[in-house]
Structure 1
């Protein structure tokens, strides 16, 4: 009968222990990686939701402002519309509502989106001031057209950037899908 040296069972026991400890280490490492992935995914989802909410608020406010401003613009062009005090209140309200949605977009929007939004807001603000002059004869039609054009151009580019940022197709001014890399910046 041959005897097994004492060191062999000790080594086998140590290898078994190292195997169990190694498996535990690997399992813990994999769990940490999975947890970190889920945490990043959750943070990304929260950022996406915040951007989507901010973008929707801004788009809604700008489009509402345009709808309210449009009759004043037509009146300045000579279209016979009765725009009285109630319409001026609506215009001022749309103006204030647009200003009130800037906080979240300034928090979550990219610099490029914030810059385009500033252009869109300033053009609309200047247009609103021009359209609400007390004496309608003082309204300068060339400024009305300039501010309206600037506002609409900035809005179209802003909307396309927002859509692209959210993973949607950009749309050209005529409404058909456009490739984001061809959208004028």
Structure 2
């Protein structure tokens, strides 16, 4: 009889230990899942912040570039305006890097369509060639589409430009 009690006691201790180990493993897995989820959310938040900062910088530079282009288009012989345009073009090139790094492909593709007409127009104006209204209009159209796409990417409301996207 004492042997049977001893065996049952050992079996009870072993069973209790197995159950405790299983509970601990389950708890550890839940904690790990929560931690993984927290890390993923933090990563998404950092990515969103980086995109937001890159987009804001680019929008500021594009609008400054447009203002400088507009002024040079109106008085192409003013050397001060041309120097301002050169400086803003340099800043615009630097602003492209963060967007190319953080933005999804659909925005990177639209970015080229937005910036190349501006850079071509600026190069022509700085070289003394005539104004090209077609490049100006294309740049403006593509910028509005890019800005709307960036706003959608950030989860913000965006201008409905579906009639332009089809062209």
Aligned length: 165
The answer for the alignment partner of 1:5 in structure 2 is 4
1:118 has 2:112 as partner: yes
1:156-176 CA distances to partner (integer Å, 9 max, x unpaired)? 111111101100011146xxx
1:182 Cα deviation (Å)? Answer: 7.8
Unaligned 5+ runs, structure 1: 76-80, 174-180
Give the Cα separation in 2 of the matches to 1:3 and 1:113: 78
Which structure carries more helix by proportion?
2
Aligned-residue RMSD, C-alpha: 2.3
Shift in CA distance, 182/51, structure 1 to aligned 2, threshold 3 Å: farther
1:183 Cα deviation (Å)? Answer: 7.5
1:59-88 CA distances to partner (integer Å, 9 max, x unpaired)? 111011001111223x2xxxxx58511111
1:109 Cα deviation (Å)? Answer: 1.2
The answer for the alignment partner of 1:150 in structure 2 is 138
1:71 has 2:52 as partner: no
**Residue aligned with 1:101, SS:** helix
The answer for the alignment partner of 1:87 in structure 2 is 81
Unaligned 5+ runs, structure 2: none
Shift in CA distance, 183/18, structure 1 to aligned 2, threshold 3 Å: farther
The answer for the alignment partner of 1:161 in structure 2 is 149
1:16 has 2:25 as partner: no
1:139-180 CA distances to partner (integer Å, 9 max, x unpaired)? 1x5xx210011101110111111101100011146xxxxxxx
1:27-76 CA distances to partner (integer Å, 9 max, x unpaired)? 11111111111111111111111111111111111011001111223x2x
Give the Cα separation in 2 of the matches to 1:23 and 1:172: 53
The answer for the alignment partner of 2:59 in structure 1 is 59
Give the TM-score of the pair, scaled to structure 1: 0.80
Maintained 8 Å contact 1:170/1:183: no
